Structure 1
């Protein structure tokens, strides 16, 4: 019964997206677009035209594996743009789930969660593609705003085909505020997209996945006007790892956005509570290289020559055992963006403190119960002492034991105080489950959002939200990515996204005013279930705990 009820709650989100994705196609009137000397044949869905799987970079295969992305040559010939391009090589998120460290209830809940991440798509290193969805009546003179979507999945997995851009464009037409939707596939499996360690730093190949995204943004600048878009009105937009990538682009190159985007929309930005140096990734890189068969080349950039010569299955097999977001170490994943000293010069926390950030309007928000799904694999933690040791070994390894004790003193083990929040004694899988979900959700997601807003809301237009819908989902509450249903449903959040992309203000479509966030009035727009769908709240919940987390993270930045 438990597993069934969790399935129903999660499938509610999936079915809302499926309904939007099954718009009948009118293939008899295939649209075309000319880029350079190439003709791309897309497909028509009635109100929208889709051009899918357009290569924006040379395939990062062979000698181009583990190198900076290179722009495509000018297009020639005829291209089929009716299907998505290959999914990039991904880490198996269902692998390494440690059932021996999980409460039986947690096993059932996580099994339901992981069904959202299953995919039968073909994976390939040749995967750097963009997709463009436009109103069917758009012309080269339309100059429409552009939303540029970056998917999430922990810098470990993901694909653009999982998100129905036509639903967003269709909704924009209903709002009489048409936009163009662009998405991309980028190198997301961490061993190919985000190598860490001294070798990667010396080779200058940090943050390859972010560099892929940046190159796709340049593609937009070059070609989007042909589709009817305005290259001066691009909003970069993402969720989870995609939102973290958006923030990294705001912080990259000393805060110079190079004219690539004018606004940003971020759902659930995750920032890691450590110093962000590439050295942090050394141990995982060494293990990966050893498992792949290149251990003899460690310590020198020649290790990448060895890795480039391997069959892709060797890369995939060596990646699988590395720490994943649903594994025991939870959000302390093995590979992710680092301060490479070039594209991202130091930690996000320090860059924000230095004011090294693009001065553009932005929206940033969270689901209310961000970490519930991520702590299911560590439900063997049942005592205060075990939780202290777990945090010291994993998420808070950079903090002193005094700092960890300070945090635990501010987050009660009383289940009524934990996450899912405001659910009383319910949902307490173990005595520490809701407490651990509260601590990690605040440390990785809520505290970084509040920190950014405190530092920047007085300097640039800032808006914040809290997503509190689907609170009745057993054990998970308003879980991480639960706002997908309101984005690609589409729903109220879609309306705000479209308005913000077009006007730099989320207001105009919702019946409650969404205030700007300021240091003197730190207000958030809250999405709710029930008859009252919206309210405005002060961003002061769990203030003592989040303040302490911000202070500790700043100390190690």
Structure 2
């Protein structure tokens, strides 16, 4: 009997291998030559599972990824997606995982050998804790196919990067070695690899756009402000889907996560050693994976911290100071982000206020005033005057409006405004389509957009393009929930620590 994982893998490979060995494309990189697969169905070439770094195993565990240091004669096959990086959560369910995972995938439209193409580098989401470039929801064949259809062909690249504690284990010991935020640094190394090698696939290294959703969008934002906005000429444009330079959660330093590191050290027997980080590098994969899995169950996601290096300050501070790479951007969110991510069981004002307990008490009252129980302004707008029942609650829409704004929408507006204020091209969107099978109470929630003329965002005329399959897509003034969003943005640093 087929397992679900085996069936998914077979279905995904059936398209890849169509065309046969006689049509296998090749690419001569700096280190050697890869041979890929031709897809007759999409008229595309696939190069899958290509390493962009040395395997981060053994003594390279918990270190910044190292560039490849070998060359070879002949050819190597790039036929299959590699294993995903080790992570924890539902996105990993149907995929193999490995510590040796720093690979990327290239999807190239066939028939463009006489010209160089623009490149899109996709950074997957998953809370910096799960996901991967081989997840079939992120198959770039469909985007590349559409680019050919509209006469704007590009090459799509997706990457793996280290997740959760494998990529974001932080402590004073880790910081003293200079190995903070190594998952983010993995992404950066992949960009450098592309600068050196994408021409071998017919790509133009001067025409790279980085894009991503959720944690991927946040990653794009962090690369825009990396090293206080230093421009390393790794990309010429950026697309941020439900993620921004202003992080979606509080940004902390090493001290906040020291206790979690100490917990890992103790459970692996490394607490009695002179070099606990080096000891962790020698722990068996099985033992460390079990320990980090327990860490996830006990404490949840891990992600980037402020380390004074690649992430030098809060995102709101970087934007205020103008410390970001000056490139055009597209930034957008979904209408009902908070309906997917906010708490449920919100029936009264007291229930709503209870979810704000981490905020200063006086500020809680300001939030309650800025987010009234008014169905005419609350998400989910498609519900009209209807109040959701269990498990959502009569005031769920009020609460969801706030949580969507505080996670993503307020930062999106601030980012677009900052770009416009600096005379830079920014285009803003609101995704307002409810996919088939999604409950109406959730609406066009988080992670639903991976499915008119578009005006440039301007301070005096802030405008969104509204993507809507239920009615004709249109533009709108970006002024909804103005009081609440301004309140969040004005207090991004001192209240929300981001």
TM-score w.r.t. length of structure 2: 0.88
Which position in structure 1 is the counterpart of 2:256?
280
Provide the rounded CA distance (Å) in 2 between the counterparts of 1:254 and 1:136. 39
Tell me the CA shift for residue 296 of structure 1.
Answer: 4.7
8 Å contact kept, 2:374–2:398? yes
8 Å contact kept, 2:30–2:196? no
Q: For residues 475-486 of structure 1, what are the structure 2 equivalents within 5 Å?
A: 475-485=441-451
Unaligned runs of 5+ in 2: 1-7
Provide the rounded CA distance (Å) in 2 between the counterparts of 1:546 and 1:309. 48
Structure 2 SS opposite 1:349: helix
Structure 2 SS opposite 1:145: strand
Which position in structure 1 is the counterpart of 2:419?
456
Q: Which has the higher contact order (CA 8 A, sep 6+)?
A: 1
Provide the rounded CA distance (Å) in 1 between the counterparts of 2:174 and 2:31. 37
Provide the rounded CA distance (Å) in 2 between the counterparts of 1:343 and 1:181. 26
* Deviating more after overlay: 59-68 vs 406-415: 406-415
- 1:527 corresponds to 2:462: no
Which position in structure 1 is the counterpart of 2:87?
90
Tell me the CA shift for residue 384 of structure 1.
Answer: 3.7
Which position in structure 1 is the counterpart of 2:408?
445
For the structure 1 residues 310 and 382, does the alpha-carbon distance in structure 2 shift closer, same or farther, using more than 3 Å as the test? Answer: farther
8 Å contact kept, 1:195–1:205? no
Which position in structure 1 is the counterpart of 2:18?
25
1:192 to 166, 181, 184: 166
Structure 2 SS opposite 1:307: helix
For the structure 1 residues 471 and 289, does the alpha-carbon distance in structure 2 shift closer, same or farther, using more than 3 Å as the test? Answer: same
Structure 2 SS opposite 1:419: coil
8 Å contact kept, 1:465–1:524? yes
Provide the rounded CA distance (Å) in 1 between the counterparts of 2:435 and 2:375. 16
For the structure 1 residues 272 and 482, does the alpha-carbon distance in structure 2 shift closer, same or farther, using more than 3 Å as the test? Answer: closer
Aligned length in residues: 473
Which position in structure 1 is the counterpart of 2:55?
59
Provide the rounded CA distance (Å) in 2 between the counterparts of 1:353 and 1:469. 33
2:380 to 420, 429, 443: 420
Over the residues paired in the alignment, what is the CA RMSD in angstroms?
A: 2.6
Structure 1 SS opposite 2:32: strand
1:542 to 475, 481, 489: 481
8 Å contact kept, 2:65–2:185? yes
Structure 2 SS opposite 1:366: strand
Structure 2 SS opposite 1:70: coil
- 1:434 corresponds to 2:397: yes
Q: For residues 158-173 of structure 1, what are the structure 2 equivalents within 5 Å?
A: 158-162=131-135, 163-173=138-148
1:391 to 356, 376, 398: 356
Which position in structure 2 is the counterpart of 1:34?
28
8 Å contact kept, 1:292–1:317? no
Q: For residues 127-142 of structure 1, what are the structure 2 equivalents within 5 Å?
A: 127-139=101-113, 142=115
Tell me the CA shift for residue 292 of structure 1.
Answer: 4.2
Provide the rounded CA distance (Å) in 1 between the counterparts of 2:276 and 2:442. 42
8 Å contact kept, 2:218–2:248? no
* Deviating more after overlay: 78-87 vs 419-428: 419-428
Provide the rounded CA distance (Å) in 2 between the counterparts of 1:314 and 1:417. 51
Structure 1 SS opposite 2:84: coil
Which position in structure 2 is the counterpart of 1:307?
280
8 Å contact kept, 2:123–2:159? yes
Q: For residues 137-536 of structure 1, what are the structure 2 equivalents within 5 Å?
A: 137-139=111-113, 142-162=115-135, 163-188=138-163, 190-269=164-243, 271-296=247-272, 302-322=275-295, 334-375=301-342, 378-379=343-344, 382-392=347-357, 397=358, 399-413=359-373, 417-423=377-383, 424-428=385-389, 429-459=392-422, 460-470=424-434, 473-474=438-439, 475-485=441-451, 512-532=452-472, 534-536=473-475
8 Å contact kept, 1:153–1:240? yes
8 Å contact kept, 2:345–2:396? no
Provide the rounded CA distance (Å) in 1 between the counterparts of 2:401 and 2:267. 35
Unaligned runs of 5+ in 1: 1-14, 94-116, 486-511
Output one character per residue of 1:319-366: Cα deviation in whole Å (capped at 9) or x when no partner: 334467xx9x9xxx5411111101111111111111000000010000
Output one character per residue of 1:277-315: Cα deviation in whole Å (capped at 9) or x when no partner: 333333443444444444456xx8x32122212222333
Provide the rounded CA distance (Å) in 2 between the counterparts of 1:19 and 1:63. 34
TM-score w.r.t. length of structure 1: 0.79
Tell me the CA shift for residue 479 of structure 1.
Answer: 1.4
